[in-house]
Amino acid sequence: MWGWLTWVFDRGNEEQLQLFCCSLWFIWFSRNNLVYEKRLKSGSEIARKIRVYITELAVTKVRNLTLHSSNNLQQIHKRGWTFIHFDAAYDRLEFRSASGIIVRNENREILASQAVIHSNIADPFTAEAYAGLQAIKLGIRLGVNKLTVLGDSKTVIKKCQSFFTDKSVIGAIITDIQSLKNRFQEIEFTFVPKAQNIYVHTIAKEAFRRRESFYLERKIPEVVRRTVGNLWPNPPD
């Protein structure tokens, strides 16, 4: 057994060894599903998951080689792309949340702003996930082809980037987001610091103050602009 494994690793190239190791892992994982959960996966399903995972590794490798700094949004903006920031405000007493969203074009001009009130929200993570879903839906509504979604929740952004089924408490929302990815020619999810999301967070809080959802074209509420200006005279773009 060990001699065979040594032979494989001695003769295989990087791509072959990656495929070999991933295949072994998925076969073992499927075996455990069958033994402990009585869930049988077909060979074609296992092969599909292996291909998807290999693709995700390749995409991650490319991103690492061409990684831009999320601390400078001017570097993120690319020709022909639309950029949607999202954030959420959460009311622990009433179990409500508000999603704040701003849409910008490649020239960083505001195309739209939106706030959506949600009820029966269990926790802040769920609130952030719903905000991400609303951002995707707004992109579809606006007919966006190439979309970058920016948020300050590392957990939600990481789950949105994944190709795998999410089994966490926000799994159903993440699944909805992933199911909508094919509505765009290209889509990517980028983490940004909270300081660069101050406008969308303030929009979400304004929705709480109004106690209603709203949608504006090519502008943000003036009260949001004034509030951000008072809190931070020169907020980062």
**pLDDT tens figures, 71-120:** 554 445 577 899 999 999 999 999 999 999 999 999 989 999 999 999 99
Distances (CA, A) of 229 to 73, 167, 226: 19, 40, 5
- Average pLDDT, stretch 163-181? 90
The answer on 188 and 157 residing in a single domain is: yes
137 has pLDDT over 90: yes
Q: Which residues contact 23 (CB under 8 A, 6 or more apart)?
A: 50
Residue 237 domain-assigned? no
Q: Angle, nearest 10°, between helix axes 124-141 and 154-161?
A: 50
pLDDT of residue 146: 95
The answer on 104 and 43 residing in a single domain is: no
Report the chain's mean pLDDT, rounded to a whole number: 83
pLDDT of residue 38: 75
Residue 5 pLDDT level (bands cut at 50, 70, 90):
low
Q: Which residue has the tokens 């092969």?
A: 47
Structurally, the chain folds into a number of domains equal to 2
Residues of the chain with pLDDT > 70, as a percent, come to 83
Which of these three, 41, 65, 89, is where a domain ends?
Answer: 65
8 has pLDDT over 70: no
Distances (CA, A) of 129 to 112, 150, 166: 20, 12, 12
Q: CATH number for the domain including 128? A: 3.30.420.10
**pLDDT tens figures, 140-149:** 999 999 999 9
Q: Given the DSSP bridges, would you call strands 110-118 and 146-151 parallel, antiparallel or unpaired? A: unpaired
Residue 7 pLDDT level (bands cut at 50, 70, 90):
low
193 has pLDDT over 50: yes
The answer on 60 and 81 residing in a single domain is: no
User: Would the pTM count as exceeding 0.75?
Assistant: no
Residue numbers of the domain that contains 120: 76-231
- Average pLDDT, stretch 195-224? 93
